[in-house]
Structure 1
Amino acid sequence: MNLLELQGVQTHIGAYHILHGVDLQVPKGELTMLLGRNGAGKSTTLRTIMGLWHASQGSVRFAGRDITQLSTPQIAGLGIAYVPETMGIFADLTVKENMLLAARAARNAQDMDDMRLKWIFRLFPAVEKFWNHPAGKLSGGQKQMLAVSRAIVEPRELLIIDEPSKGLAPAIINNMIDAFGELKAAGVTILLVEQNIHFAQRLGDTVAVMDNGRVMHAGSMAEFSADTQLQQRLLGLAL
């Protein structure tokens, strides 16, 4: 069963035609990798799913519901969390205040789900360590951990993340891989845009490869990893 489906999605940004009929399926309970060269349309696809840009043609369906024309707050309210490539951290607020903003059901830090916070602290110890520090003072890796932590501070059905490993040290990438593995095991459906092939191979259940604003290939990650000729043709490199 697919939790998220895009059919024939076209997106224009001003005079630019970026997506040229994207067909994408994200199976429920699995981790789907969205791969492709720079400029292939991956980030635009994520932003279109979230309603930050609206599709000019085609449809976006979540849990069987057409969400193509919904606003971004409405889409988020359905249980979809989005972590952009820029991470969207509020630099002048503390880590705690960033988390509290994302925990919409909580009026103060004491109202946040204690068991869920302990789970997040175990996944990302830096979030607990720097709880009362300004988020702008964190390292790049710590900011990425905070961005993901905000996305999961309340239960979500779908987690959409744009290049979570970008610029991170290998040790932090491994920590991130472990965390996403736990999220997947907890039943969260995940859609990741990723350039780090090691990251993609270790985590992905299914894969979709984009080029020129279209999905050129979709299937299992294991089969894609084993087919070096297909990798070379679609990505210009072998895994």
Structure 2
Amino acid sequence: MNPSNIVLSLSGVHTHIGAYHILHGVDFDVPAGQVTMLLGRNGAGKTTTLRTIMGLWAAQQGSIRFKGEAIGGPGVKLGTPDIAQRGIAYVPESMGIFSDLTVKENLLLAARGAQTVDDLDTKRLEWIFGLFPALKKFWLYPAGKLSGGQKQMLAVARAIVEPRELLLIDEPSKGLAPAIIQNLIGALRELKATHTTILLVEQNFAMAKALGDQVAVMDDGRVVHRGAMAELAQDEALQQRLLGLSLAAHQ
């Protein structure tokens, strides 16, 4: 892999949360303009990895570099807002939307330079409405009244309301109906076509196969496999060994 094409690089990352040692030397790279899947069984450390990248938890050892600049690791004093300012957006599993605010107000809050809707990039807003038509329909609804799928769409829309170089998305399909998942896959494909780089944690393996270019598989706080997603998708024995199940069973 060409080092100049790497947007995000984790090297030897260890994270402790209280008395617990969660990440044990995590190593992987995220190439520009691609979707990198972060897979693994529950409790493998995937969410901790995303939160460590964002500075929500500190990396006690190792380094996290974004476009060549250290953003995490011993001696790095960047807070989460500083990391976000560099062009990284995070969509947590909890979605993190403000339930009492409207769809419009949620998007305005996420647009750092906008005070009113008139300050938003009209073309970009229409593009987001094209990806997620429900958001236009429910523009003035409190976000808490949206369905689960609509809330997930809003969470992703907030992350992309301004151009971002890297999106970290944690299990976007969790609890969603199959038809909504297909819509989400289509939206993420369109986003990928704009050369946005995505690091995606996902338990839905059909979605992983549909979207992923690269894959890193975690187990017990370590990366135990790195490679092309297409190769993992075609190797059922490897899927069974790494993940305990087969992609073929999740078509």
Match of 2:109 among 94, 101, 108: 101
Which of 7, 12, 20 aligns to 2:11? It is: 7
Instruction: In structure 2, list runs of 5 or more residues that go unmatched.
Output: none
Per the alignment, residue 84 of structure 1 pairs with: 92
The corresponding residue for 1:184 is 192
Q: Structure 2 CA distance, aligned partners of 1:172 and 1:226? A: 25
CA distance in 2, matches of 1:24, 1:71: 22
Output the TM-score relative to the length of structure 1: 0.99
**Partner AA of 2:186 in structure 1:** D
Cα deviation for residue 19 of structure 1 reads: 0.1
Alignment of 1:66-81 (within 5 A): 66-68=70-72, 69=76, 70-81=78-89
- Quick check: 1:211 aligned with 2:219? yes
Query: Which residue number corresponds to residue 236 of structure 1?
Result: 244
Matched, 1:112 2:116: no
Q: CA deviation at 1:109?
A: 1.1
Q: How many percent of aligned residue pairs carry the same amino acid?
A: 72
| Residue of structure 2 in register with 1:46 after alignment | 50
Matched, 1:227 2:235: yes
For residue 117 of structure 1, what is the amino acid of its counterpart? L
Taking structure 2 as the reference length, the TM-score comes to 0.95
Q: 3-state DSSP class of the match of 1:237?
A: coil
Helix, strand or coil: the match of 2:16? Answer: strand
Deviation at 1:171, TM superposition (A): 0.8
Alignment of 1:159-198 (within 5 A): 159-198=167-206
1:65 paired residue among 64, 69, 84: 69
1:124 is aligned to 2:129? no
1:136 and 2:154 are equivalent in the alignment = no
CA RMSD of aligned residues (A): 0.5
Q: CA deviation at 1:154?
A: 0.1
CA shift, 1:110, in A, is 1.2
1:78 positional shift: 0.2
Which segments of structure 1 move beyond 3 Å, counting only runs of 4 or more?
none
2:37 is matched with: 33
Displacement, 1:46? 0.1
**Structure 1 Cα separation of the partners of residues 151 and 244 of structure 2:** 31
Residues 182-229 of structure 1: CA distance to partner in whole angstroms, max 9, x if unpaired? Answer: 111101000000000000000000000000000000000111111111
CA positional deviation for 1:150: 0.3
Separation of aligned partners in 1, 2:83 and 2:225:
27
Consecutive unaligned residues of structure 1, counting only runs of 5 or more, are: none
Counterpart CA distance in 2 for 1:184 and 1:136 is 28
Q: Give CA-to-partner distance per residue, 1:63-107, whole Å, 9 cap, x none.
A: 000001311000000000000000001000000000000011111
Measure the CA separation in 2 of the matches of 1:54 and 1:103. 26
Give the residue type in structure 2 aligned to 1:7: S
Return the alpha-carbon distance in structure 1 between the equivalents of residues 25 and 125 of structure 2: 40
1:199 to 198, 204, 207: 207
